[in-house]
Structure 1
């Protein structure tokens, strides 16, 4: 019932949604936020968040409720399979996306969801992973890495590394080229992907890194950190909450395993697809990392989805622009996995 009511509200005209969100289109830096996301942002501001009393469990429940409403439909002609990857001290759960139509030349992709290392789940990137698997005819492994504060840094990152190494060793079992894999993720997942690409560049390097609005600099103070500090869903207060939960006492947020964007030498890294969102605190650091990769001789393709906010991968059903973004990312990623880009 709630989902039907929300969808009904979003079916209104752009003008009606802007009016309901305050009457003026939200424009910053010459970019205009999609009216449906502007409406949701306005509703979120009305509710507010009491960060002092917010528990990780509460925030996770809110995130999953949002994904249930706006995550989009499952992708057809792709089956899923639960897998468990052996880590250093435990098994890392994951979900394999296996397309019914295979292309044995397309590399396997390992993907990490968003959430600041504190929230998020396999459901948050379910549609994108399914779209990539179907478009590429390749297996996609989505990783259910450990979350803070129960498992602070570097637990989630270590799970990401274990999953990538497992995929590299086992890709051929699922019809992909042997000992070859790609890495990808959005937001904190993009952070993990960038770090894995850096740490494996000398041995077992990925054939591609897919970075979607990645957080690559934990001490970044670029203009977008201020211009979009109140933008839904990643506000300055949200970032501060995540960092307090994710980082152990005494951790240096500028170190390479937290801020891969601060690594000086980017030569020899895997080709990259980098996508940013217009209404996002992380916009400038993602764009800057793409530029630096290119300056280092890395093959890069960059695009900013100017009308969308951070986290749009998890909310593709909100607006046609979000679904179109996922489809574009899937098509371009599939071409890269096949070696055509």
Structure 2
């Protein structure tokens, strides 16, 4: 463990009251929710750093990766990890397959996509979380790195995600998965891509995924008001950063209305895959995630939905320093187990 990581983890073991005093003197409350003390400490430290909107995408990716490495837990020891490549529409996509050690026979599967606004992130972004899902849910997880903007603008990420899911279904036996019992999932941009895949498969007349796991998903890139306003300046995702992502990912404002960009704009959600929708209380995306869950329920889709009120965006990558984030991720993995088994 390097010295910076040791310092961060030592500080975050301090009592809640001490962390609050070091982070402004009183708990941060928004919309009737109170932010976890460790999240608030991280937010106070993050506010002192340059925003990623001041960086070029390459530097932003490197800086984000370095920061998250200080916060994530160690991968689960009971999981085997294998590197592989998935054929994509423009070339091979890097991927990792996570399988519980000692698993007998094919298992239900999940194709997972990382967060990052379709601009930042990679296989390491959700590495630990994927091991948690595989271990706790007892399933095989395929973590796929899709192409990023601005080098590859919309619809590159969507095309890659669709191709990865369809490839997994076609090669289920090789992956140790059960064809027809493979879900899609992800956090933030990964949740957005998963929601789009579920809709695209239905449009194509295919059975579609067995599950859509949507963790603080982007569902409407035109969303205004509500948490987009009240949580506009909350670490680590701000409304300004969302606009920065959109400017790099999309070619023009009109693309925000495309259902492959904003799945909320699809008028008919009936017949889509069962969903697990988990949002964070201190997140600009909170309200659009909850609204999408409500629309799915109204359309007759089986939905497990909740808001982790004390947490902020990207909590899936903070399991090493925020106990509430680790507990939330373990609960998500239990939900996936229930849904796919």
TM-score, normalised via structure 1 length? 0.96
Matched residue, 1:17 = 19
CA separation in 1, counterparts of 2:255 and 2:52?
Answer: 27
Asked whether the 8 Å contact 1:171–1:180 carries over to 2, the reply is no
- Other structure's SS at 1:205 match: coil
- Other structure's SS at 2:178 match: coil
Matched residue, 1:331 = 334
Structure 2 counterpart of 1:28, from 19, 27, 30: 30
Could you list the runs of 5+ residues in structure 1 that have no partner in the other structure? none
2:119 matches 1:118:
yes
Is the alpha carbon distance of 1:125 and 1:333 closer, same or farther for their aligned partners in structure 2, counting shifts above 3 Å? same
Asked whether the 8 Å contact 1:124–1:313 carries over to 2, the reply is no
Q: Post-superposition shift, 1:54?
A: 1.2
CA separation in 2, counterparts of 1:100 and 1:138?
Answer: 11
Asked whether the 8 Å contact 1:128–1:313 carries over to 2, the reply is yes
CA separation in 2, counterparts of 1:214 and 1:50?
Answer: 20
CA separation in 2, counterparts of 1:62 and 1:111?
Answer: 23
CA separation in 1, counterparts of 2:185 and 2:296?
Answer: 16
What does 1:203-218 correspond to in 2, within 5 Å?
203-218=206-221
Structure 2 counterpart of 1:300, from 298, 303, 307: 303
Asked whether the 8 Å contact 1:169–1:179 carries over to 2, the reply is no
Q: Post-superposition shift, 1:178?
A: 2.6
Matched residue, 1:84 = 85
Is the alpha carbon distance of 1:291 and 1:203 closer, same or farther for their aligned partners in structure 2, counting shifts above 3 Å? same
CA separation in 1, counterparts of 2:296 and 2:253?
Answer: 30
What does 1:1-341 correspond to in 2, within 5 Å?
1-49=3-51, 51=53, 53-102=54-103, 104=105, 106-201=107-202, 202-249=205-252, 251-338=254-341
Asked whether the 8 Å contact 2:221–2:262 carries over to 1, the reply is yes
Asked whether the 8 Å contact 2:68–2:125 carries over to 1, the reply is yes
Q: Post-superposition shift, 1:138?
A: 1.8
Structure 1, residues 304-323: CA drift from partner, whole Å, max 9, x if none?
A: 10000011111112210000
Asked whether the 8 Å contact 1:172–1:179 carries over to 2, the reply is no
Deviates more, 1:311-320 or 1:31-40: 311-320
CA separation in 1, counterparts of 2:287 and 2:16?
Answer: 28
Q: Number of residue pairs matched?
A: 337
Q: Post-superposition shift, 1:241?
A: 1.0
Asked whether the 8 Å contact 2:106–2:173 carries over to 1, the reply is no
Q: Post-superposition shift, 1:76?
A: 1.0
Q: Post-superposition shift, 1:80?
A: 0.8
Runs of 4+ in 1 over 6 A off after TM superposition: none
Q: Post-superposition shift, 1:136?
A: 2.6
Structure 1, residues 5-58: CA drift from partner, whole Å, max 9, x if none?
A: 11111111100000000101001111110011101111111224373x411011
Structure 1, residues 119-170: CA drift from partner, whole Å, max 9, x if none?
A: 0111111122111111232210001111111111111111101110011111
Structure 1, residues 186-237: CA drift from partner, whole Å, max 9, x if none?
A: 0000000000000102304101100000000000113100000001011111
CA separation in 2, counterparts of 1:138 and 1:8?
Answer: 34
Q: Post-superposition shift, 1:90?
A: 0.6
CA separation in 2, counterparts of 1:47 and 1:178?
Answer: 46
CA separation in 1, counterparts of 2:319 and 2:41?
Answer: 15
